[in-house]
């Protein structure tokens, strides 16, 4: 029997009221964590008490810290075995979750968090597993592969987390999830977190969770933070593309995501926008992992303005500010529409969402209106005079170095190399991301050539590294 808690809009509960280890509490203080979000206030006490939890809350609600703190609080650090497993639908989300867990655990001595995802070579993962880990964060396919090979053992597992379970089911991972769960102890604690609660999730939860506490945090967005706009269009691609073009030229967002319902549509829309002069790239699950990573870096750096993506691919996007969201069509699931809209207007910033509604989608608009419990009125499209404008161009360019963490490179080293004698000003340098064997740095487009020459002529850590501008 599910126990349902009421939705919460705010919370005054503090982390100091929880029975967390002192090392975790002191780290939370240093990170500026004080008041819990609604999802944390409703789920963490039950998690710490060892209870299974089924939680629904939108991205950005603090759910990673909720299950992360619960998982870390129960670790026996002296026991170098996998005690926590977090499954995520995409590598991007897994990397984001693993990074947050490491941040939360930095005051716990010798806690090892390992990421196991497809698209990465097996060799380094096998070496890392041979040295042991306390927590594994991974995608279902790669985790199951390690279980089959015998390189990953889950006999000591205490906590299993299914993050974004609905997306994993959408991607066809149900059999894989069940195979992984079959390798875990029956005594484990199971935590299922999701931004939406599709019908397919309920039977999965009933099979995998024991008498869970069900927590639902309302997804409704504050109209003062996110403004939604709806536009009637003829139900053909030419009309939709023209409408999207008009809106992009009139509203001129610096960063935006265009959501599509299929991978093929994602490619078609990105190609059409590119032909119209927009800085746009597609992101979906059929792409090679290295291409996905390159596109995400370019978008996060401000080197492309528009990301055209499927819902699954957009999970795990670590974009703090997103000016606008465009729905090429209304999402098939109403909860997904709300999740899409929630990508903009984060952290109290103003955001806007624009949805194209075809003649055959009138019933979906009515259903969405009922779901949101508010009237949804359509707005006329901007005047065709907007077509005389030039598309927005990204302010930044991205440079790539062929050295990274393996070569002991840090962001400060790259910044110093760029701003040294004869270099560019620090204010012209944007985000710097150092990966295992490469690094990316964003610079103002106007000084990209000078920055590239500066990196090519100088040295970092006493060595010369090849640098190039990342094209799109």
Q: Kindly report the backbone phi and psi dihedral angles of residue 441, in degrees, each rounded to the nearest multiple of 5, phi listed first.
A: -140, 135
Which of 325, 319, 283 has the alpha carbon at shortest distance from 301?
319
CA angle 321, 326, 332 (to 5 degrees): 120
| C-alpha neighbours within 13 Å on the C-beta side of residue 112 | 14
Tell me the CA distances in angstroms from 200 to 205, 393, 442, one per residue in order. Answer: 9, 42, 41
In the chain, % helix, strand, coil (3-state, to 5) comes to 40, 20, 40
Q: Kindly report the backbone phi and psi dihedral angles of residue 323, in degrees, each rounded to the nearest multiple of 5, phi listed first.
A: -70, -40
Architecture of domain 226-388: 3-Layer(aba) Sandwich (3.40)
* Distance of alpha carbon 235 from alpha carbon 216, whole angstroms: 35
**Would you state the pLDDT for residue 317?**
62
Contact (CB, 8 A) for 249 and 385: no
Contact (CB, 8 A) for 321 and 254: no
If you write DSSP's letter for every residue of 314-349 in order, what string do you get?
HTT---S---EEEESS--SSHHHHHHHHTTSSGGG-
CA angle 341, 344, 347 (to 5 degrees): 125
CATH superfamily of 3-216: P-loop containing nucleotide triphosphate hydrolases (3.40.50.300)
Contact (CB, 8 A) for 72 and 108: yes
Place of tokens 């995501």: 257
> Which pLDDT tens digits describe the chain residue by residue (472 residues)?
344 444 434 446 888 888 888 888 888 888 878 788 888 999 999 999 999 999 887 666 788 899 999 999 999 988 889 999 999 988 888 888 998 999 899 888 889 999 999 878 888 999 999 988 999 999 999 999 999 999 999 999 999 999 988 888 877 788 899 999 999 999 999 999 877 666 667 788 888 899 899 888 765 444 446 889 999 999 899 999 999 999 999 999 988 999 999 899 999 999 999 999 999 999 987 788 788 888 988 998 899 999 999 876 666 565 656 889 999 999 888 878 887 887 776 555 678 899 999 988 998 899 999 888 888 989 999 999 988 999 988 999 999 999 998 898 989 999 999 998 888 998 999 999 888 889 999 999 999 999 999 998 888 988 899 999 997 7
In the chain, where does the domain assigned CATH 3.40.50.300 lie? Answer: 3-216, 226-388
Which sign, positive or negative, has the C-alpha torsion 438, 440, 445, 446? Answer: negative
Q: How many other C-beta atoms can be found within 10 angstroms of the C-beta atom of residue 460?
A: 20
**Longest Cα pair distance anywhere in the chain, in angstroms?**
69
**Would you state the pLDDT for residue 224?**
47
Contact (CB, 8 A) for 38 and 11: yes
Which sign, positive or negative, has the C-alpha torsion 275, 279, 283, 288? Answer: positive
* Distance of alpha carbon 54 from alpha carbon 11, whole angstroms: 19
Query: In the CATH hierarchy, which top-level class contains the domain 396-469?
Result: alpha beta
Tell me the CA distances in angstroms from 278 to 211, 307, 357, one per residue in order. Answer: 51, 11, 22
Q: Kindly report the backbone phi and psi dihedral angles of residue 437, in degrees, each rounded to the nearest multiple of 5, phi listed first.
A: -125, 10
* Distance of alpha carbon 226 from alpha carbon 346, whole angstroms: 9
* Distance of alpha carbon 90 from alpha carbon 138, whole angstroms: 8
pTM over 0.85, yes/no = no
In the chain, where does the domain assigned CATH 3.30.70.330 lie? Answer: 396-469
Residue 26, token pair as written in the block: 């002191």
């Amino acid at each position: 029997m599910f126990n349902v808690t009421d939705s919460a809009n705010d919370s005054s509960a503090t982390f100091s009221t929880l029975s967390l280890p002192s090392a975790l509490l002191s780290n939370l203080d240093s990170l500026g964590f004080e008041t819990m979000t609604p999802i944390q206030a409703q789920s963490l006490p039950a998690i710490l008490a060892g209870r299974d939890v089924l939680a629904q809350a939108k991205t950005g609600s603090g759910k990673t810290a909720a299950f992360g703190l619960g998982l870390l609080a129960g670790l026996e650090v002296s026991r170098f075995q996998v005690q926590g497993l977090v499954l995520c639908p995409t590598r991007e989300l897994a990397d984001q979750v693993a990074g947050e867990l490491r941040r939360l655990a930095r005051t716990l001595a010798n806690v090892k968090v390992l990421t196991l995802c497809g698209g990465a070579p097996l060799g380094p993962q096998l070496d890392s597993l041979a040295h042991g880990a306390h927590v594994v964060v991974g995608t279902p396919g790669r985790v199951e592969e390690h279980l089959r090979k015998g390189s990953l053992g889950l006999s000591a597992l205490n906590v299993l987390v299914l993050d974004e379970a609905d997306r994993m089911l959408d991607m066809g991972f149900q059999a894989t999830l069940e195979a992984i769960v079959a390798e875990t102890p029956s005594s484990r604690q199971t935590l299922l977190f999701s931004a939406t609660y599709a019908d397919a999730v309920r039977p999965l939860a009933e099979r995998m969770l024991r008498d869970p506490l069900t927590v639902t945090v309302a997804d409704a967005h504050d109209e003062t933070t996110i403004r939604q706009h709806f536009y009637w269009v003829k139900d053909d691609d030419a009309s939709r593309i023209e409408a999207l073009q008009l809106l992009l030229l009139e509203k001129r967002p610096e960063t935006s995501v265009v959501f599509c319902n299929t991978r093929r549509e994602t490619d078609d829309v990105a190609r059409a926008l590119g032909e119209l002069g927009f800085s746009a790239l597609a992101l979906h699950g059929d792409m090679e992992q290295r291409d996905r990573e390159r596109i995400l870096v370019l978008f996060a750096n401000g080197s492309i303005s528009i990301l055209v993506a499927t819902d699954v691919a957009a999970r795990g996007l670590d974009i703090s500010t997103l000016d606008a969201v465009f729905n090429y069509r209304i999402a098939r699931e109403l909860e997904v529409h709300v999740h899409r809209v929630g990508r903009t207007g984060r952290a109290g910033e103003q955001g806007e969402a624009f949805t194209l509604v075809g003649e055959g989608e009138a019933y979906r608009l009515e259903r969405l209106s009922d779901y949101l419990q508010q009237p949804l009125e359509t707005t006329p499209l901007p005047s065709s005079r907007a077509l005389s404008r030039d598309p927005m161009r990204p302010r930044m360019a991205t440079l790539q170095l062929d050295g990274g963490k393996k070569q002991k490179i840090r962001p400060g080293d790259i910044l110093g190399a760029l701003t040294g004698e004869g270099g560019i000003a620090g204010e012209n340098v944007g985000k710097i991301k150092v990966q295992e064997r490469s690094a990316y740095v964003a610079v103002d487009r106007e000084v990209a050539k000078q920055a590239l020459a500066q990196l090519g002529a100088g040295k970092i850590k006493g060595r010369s590294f090849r640098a190039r501008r990342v094209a799109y």
